[in-house]
Amino acid sequence: MEQVNVMHGPEASQMQPATSRQAYFMEQAFEMARKALDTGETPVGCVLVYEDQIVGSGMNDTNRSMNGTRHAEFLAIQEMLRKYPRSALHLTDLYVTVEPCVMCASALRQYRIRSVYFGCGNERFGGTGSILSLHSDLSIDPPYPVYGGLKHKEAIMLLRRFYIQENDKAPKPRPKKNRELNTKFDNDIESVDNTSVEK
Q: What is the dihedral of CA 103, 47, 120, 149, to 10 degrees?
A: 130
- The Cα 151–Cα 84 span in angstroms is 29
Backbone phi and psi for residue 85, each to the nearest 5 degrees, phi listed first: -70, 155
- In the set 73, 99, 154, 198, the catalytic residue is 73
- The Cα 198–Cα 193 span in angstroms is 7
Cross-sheet strand order for the sheet of 53-59: 15-17, 3-6, 146-148, 115-120, 92-98, 45-50, 53-59
CA 166 to chain centroid, in Å, comes to: 23
- The Cα 159–Cα 42 span in angstroms is 7
For the question of residue 51 being annotated catalytic, the response is no
Which residues are tagged catalytic? 73
